[in-house]
């Protein structure tokens, strides 16, 4: 009976589903590329509402300025035969510009400043040119066709239809409530009708603006959900990002190995300066140096176990550094003290005895 081996690529079972929350690096990179949370609906609604509020409270001011200018044009400029000639035409142009600055510029300035504040509140300070860079994928008609009939496009269409229905209903309700006053327009003169119609239109606009702000807040929630979903990552992306931040484990291992080798060479180069090497004798070796001008107690300048201990002893012999065998002391020094540290106080007496012995061998007097 022939048996056939079935080879299965386990990579096919790897999940591409975005289930992991975005990392700080992912958010920062998306922001640099211009992918930020922002609702144009709420921005437009606030600016529209503000514009009509400004028209309501500055309407009389604008009307008087315009009326005064038109009166001057009708009484002074229209009577001049040479109105379209050089100096007169230039003067008229200057007055029109001044009128616009006095009448329209403050409102436009307030709306512009408010737009900047709203944008900053949603996005913060961000300057990037990456959103202006051309992307060939957007020129692909197939991709464009897919975007037209995507879930997001359908959602935007439904959202727009709902917005139109709600805004229309709000306007209809406001006009319905004003029906009795509208009927009274038949008894008004032209000035009163004009004033009332202006108030009516601004009232409708304000109600619509309030409705749009509510819809904008709802849209902001959906935009937040969509933004967070677009930033979600797969498990593989999280692992890859971790590798990029922390570095490849193999490379990190090599770096650590190189660092250990450098540290070991540096330690070995300090052994000739030692006063004594205390050994186990085969398992541990600790090199000590005592200089009263540098430290109040002997300092461990090298230590090692097994192979390193044997290398310390070999270098010590080469440079005629005394080697003293003391099993308990060697082990205690190895376990309690790191390289570059002074020995602990509880070992002062034992080390002092060893140094006294070494100094006596070298005919030195202990300090």
CATH number at residue 255: 3.40.1690.10
> Is residue 216 domain-shared with residue 91, that is, in the same domain?
yes
Flag whether pLDDT at 281 surpasses 80: no
Lookup result for tokens 């050089």: 86
Q: Which residue has the tokens 């229309």?
A: 168
Is the residue at 198 inside a domain? yes
Residues 192 and 103 in one domain: yes
In a domain, 9, yes or no: no
Residue 25 lies in a domain: no
The 3-state DSSP class for residue 366 equals coil
DSSP structural state of residue 277: E
Residues 299, 305: Cα–Cα separation, whole Å: 18
pLDDT for the residue 13: 44
Which one has a higher pLDDT value, 11 or 104?
104
Residue 93: domain span: 35-232
259 and 293 both lie in a single domain? yes
Residue 260 domain-assigned (yes or no): yes
Tens of pLDDT along 334-355?
888 888 888 888 888 888 888 8
- Asked if pLDDT for residue 122 goes beyond 60, the answer is yes
**Count: domains in the chain:** 2
Residues 228 and 307 in one domain: no
199 and 265 housed in the same domain: no
> Would you list the DSSP string of 150-175?
SHHHHHHHHHHHHHHHHHHHHHHHHH
Q: Are 258 and 183 in the same domain? A: no
Q: Is residue 108 part of a domain?
A: yes
Q: Write the pLDDT tens digit of every residue in 186-234.
A: 777 777 877 778 778 888 888 888 888 888 888 888 888 888 888 888 8
Minimum mean pLDDT among 161-165, 247-251, 310-314: which range?
Answer: 247-251
Other beta carbons within 10 angstroms of residue 46's beta carbon come to 19
Last residue of a domain, one of 232, 263, 294: 232
CB under 8 A, 24+ apart: contacts of 201-207: 202/52, 202/55, 202/56, 202/59, 203/174, 203/178, 204/171, 204/174, 204/175, 205/48, 205/52, 206/49, 206/52, 206/53, 206/56, 207/170, 207/171, 207/173, 207/174
- CA dist list (Å): 303 to 11, 154, 226, 270, 331: 48, 72, 59, 11, 10
Instruction: Specify if 27 maps to a domain.
Output: no
57 and 197 assigned to the same domain: yes
**What tokens appear for 275 in the block?**
């006063």
Residue 197 resides in a domain: yes
Residue 262 and residue 303 in one domain: yes
User: What's the pLDDT band for 132 if we cut at 50, 70, 90?
Assistant: low
Domain boundary among 199, 232, 265: 232
Question: Which of residues 173, 197, 232 is at a domain's end?
Answer: 232
Note whether residue 15 is domain-resident. no
Same domain, 45 and 114: yes
149/42 same-domain check: yes
Whether the CB-CB separation of 46 and 114 falls below 8 Å is answered with yes
Q: Give pLDDT, residue 365.
A: 45
* pLDDT one-digit tens code per residue, 149-184: 567 677 778 888 888 888 888 888 888 888 887 777
Question: Within this chain, do residues 225 and 256 fall inside the same structural domain, yes or no?
Answer: no
Q: Is the pLDDT of residue 4 over 50?
A: no
The reply to whether 46 and 100 lie within a common domain is yes
């Amino acid at each position: 009976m022939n048996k056939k081996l079935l080879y299965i690529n386990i990579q096919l079972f790897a999940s591409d589903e975005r289930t992991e929350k975005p990392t700080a690096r992912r958010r920062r990179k998306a922001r640099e590329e211009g992918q930020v949370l922002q609702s144009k609906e709420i921005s437009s609604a606030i600016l529209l509402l503000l514009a009509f509020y400004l028209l309501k409270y500055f309407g009389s001011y604008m009307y008087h300025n315009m009326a005064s200018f038109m009166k001057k044009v009708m009484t002074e400029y229209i009577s001049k035969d040479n109105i379209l000639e050089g100096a007169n035409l230039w003067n008229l142009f200057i007055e029109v510009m001044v009128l616009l600055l006095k009448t329209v510029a403050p409102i436009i300035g307030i709306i512009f400043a408010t737009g900047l504040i709203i944008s900053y509140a949603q996005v913060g300070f961000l300057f990037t040119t990456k959103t202006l860079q051309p992307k060939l994928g957007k020129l692909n008609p197939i991709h464009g066709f897919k975007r037209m009939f995507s879930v997001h496009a359908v959602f935007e269409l439904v959202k727009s239809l709902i917005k139109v229905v709600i805004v229309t209903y709000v306007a209809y309700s406001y006009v319905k409530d004003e029906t009795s006053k509208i009927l009274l327009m038949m008894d008004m003169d032209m000035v009163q009708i004009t004033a009332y119609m202006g108030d009516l239109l601004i009232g409708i606009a304000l109600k619509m603006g309030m409705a749009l702000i509510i819809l904008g807040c709802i849209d902001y929630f959906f935009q937040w959900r969509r933004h967070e979903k677009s930033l979600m990552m797969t498990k593989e992306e999280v692992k890859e990002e971790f590798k990029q931040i922390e570095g490849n484990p193999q490379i990190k291992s090599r770096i650590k190995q190189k660092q250990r080798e450098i540290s070991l060479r540096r330690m070995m180069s300090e052994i000739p300066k030692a006063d004594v090497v205390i050994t186990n004798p085969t398992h541990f070796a600790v090199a000590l140096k005592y200089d009263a001008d540098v430290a109040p107690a002997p300092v461990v300048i090298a230590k090692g176990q097994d192979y390193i201990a044997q290398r310390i002893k070999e270098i010590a012999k080469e440079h005629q550094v005394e080697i003293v065998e003391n099993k308990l002391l060697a082990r205690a020094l190895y376990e309690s003290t790191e390289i570059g540290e002074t020995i602990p106080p509880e070992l002062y007496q034992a080390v002092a005895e060893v140094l006294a012995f070494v100094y006596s061998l070298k005919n030195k007097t202990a300090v």
